[in-house]
Amino acid sequence: MAEAVQATLAIIALAGVIWFAVRRPKGLPEAVAAVPAALLLCLCGVIGWGEAAAQIREMAPTVVFLAAILALSHLCQREGLFRALGELIAQGSGGRPRRLLLLVFVIAALVTAVLSLDATAVLLTPVVFATASRLGVRPKPHVYATAHLANSASLLLPVSNLTNLLAMSAAGLSFTTFAGVMAVPWLLAIGIEYAVFRRYFRADLSVPMSPPESARPVRLPLFALGVVAATLAGFVASGSLHLEPFWAAIAGAAVLAGKRLLTRRRRFQQVKDLAGSVNPWFAAFVFALAIVVKGVTDHGLTDALRAVLPHGTGWPELLWMAAVAALLANVVNNLPAVLVLLPLAAPMGPLAVLAVLIGVNVGPNLTYVGSLATLLWRRIMADHEYEAELKEFTRLGLLTVPLSLVLCSLGLWAGGVVFGLS
């Protein structure tokens, strides 16, 4: 098959997969389009079967980790962690909408960093919506905060986002070094978001809220919190023990799952519920998407991007790398963008890889299609009969994303100097 025909077929396949993932007609999982597209490219010779198998092997540890984190987040919800967080937010607000927003920012940033952006988009957003409604405040600032922080607050830890796991592997960094270098960009991104939200939603935040209910002691699920803390310690220790981080995530999920099986009835239903939380359809989508993206990069896209990417790891080069990544994420979604850019950034060093990460994590706050987490958040809003307007979402993104890219790339450059990566 001619090179031009192969390139065209690969591009059409990727565009079709992205369209299906964004629209999800009839609620069908993303894999319904991605798996046939990957098989088609293999059958047509656009990508060899051996290359496709290599992509699956390379992605396997990351996908296993993702499944374990999804299970851990789901089990934390079942243990009542997110409900307790909602009660803490309500009681700590003291009847002041601005304090409520601050607490939402703190909780959303921590949940995103520790339990991943999907936990914030899918599990925390309904809690925040219900808490705001119960307190009689306008929910818009608070639920928009969970959408933005699901993306921008996912910079800190490798476990915060699937893109981070891919980047850590490409950069060759340990868990602690990754977190240390990304700490300043993480804080800057959150601070910029908070300052803009306070200003942009000042009218909504000036509406008086209902007095909080009489304070009752919040019953935190201490066992679940202990398991999460131990799992984080396992992530940190995995590097020195030469273990894949997914073993710590699997262990944490297994402990919580074991507790539920021992203390709850209807064990079969518990197992079925846990199996669904792993989301095997999404795992199949990630594998298939990696194959489709490989077909595109092998037939022209890599050369086109190499011509526009910078060479170097000074602040201007890191900013340009982050901007290109952000633009690509808003065109093709953040997961395909990171799969395309990491092989090009890795030879330039870890800072170039982390600059790509800033772009694909912060950049998606500009449009709905930028990340799957934002699309999930939008569906949560629809479930609550609350219309999230594209125009307002984009306007808010224009106020936060460009400034975040500039300052976060500067913070990354400074972190690289401190950790000797530049």
The pLDDT value given to residue 366: 92
Number of structural domains in the chain = 1
- DSSP state at residue 207: S
The pLDDT value given to residue 99: 93
**Pick from 197, 87, 88: which is nearest to 138 by CA?**
197
CA distance 5 to 9: 6
The pLDDT value given to residue 2: 74
Q: Report if pTM > 0.85.
A: yes
Mapped onto helix, strand or coil, the DSSP state of residue 2 is: coil
Say how many C-beta atoms besides its own lie within 10 A of residue 386's C-beta.
14
* Enclosing domain of residue 156: 3-418
CA distances to 89, 127, 271 from 384, rounded to whole Å, are: 20, 11, 28
CA distance 273 to 267: 10
CA distance 121 to 118: 5
CA distance 112 to 10: 33
CA distance 358 to 323: 9
The pLDDT value given to residue 270: 75
The pLDDT value given to residue 199: 95
The pLDDT value given to residue 36: 95
How many degrees, rounded to 5, is the angle at CA 172 between CA 370 and CA 338?
15
**Pick from 320, 319, 322, 318: which is nearest to 337 by CA?**
322
318, two tokens: 């890191």
Q: What's the chain's length in residues? A: 422
Alpha helix positions (H), 214-301: 222-238, 246-263, 267-278, 280-296
User: What are the per-10-residue average pLDDT scores of the chain (422 residues)?
Assistant: 81 88 81 93 91 89 84 89 90 88 96 91 90 88 95 94 88 91 97 97 85 70 92 83 84 90 76 79 88 84 84 93 94 86 93 96 90 82 74 92 97 94 82
406 and 185 in contact (C-beta within 8 Å)? no
Q: What is the pLDDT of residues 128-186, one digit of tens each?
A: 988 888 888 889 999 999 999 999 999 999 989 989 988 988 898 988 999 999 999 99
Cα-Cα end-to-end distance for the chain: 44
The pLDDT value given to residue 226: 94
CA distances to 20, 21, 159 from 26, rounded to whole Å, are: 10, 12, 31
Q: What is the pLDDT of residues 18-76, one digit of tens each?
A: 888 777 788 788 889 999 999 999 999 899 999 999 989 988 888 888 888 888 888 99
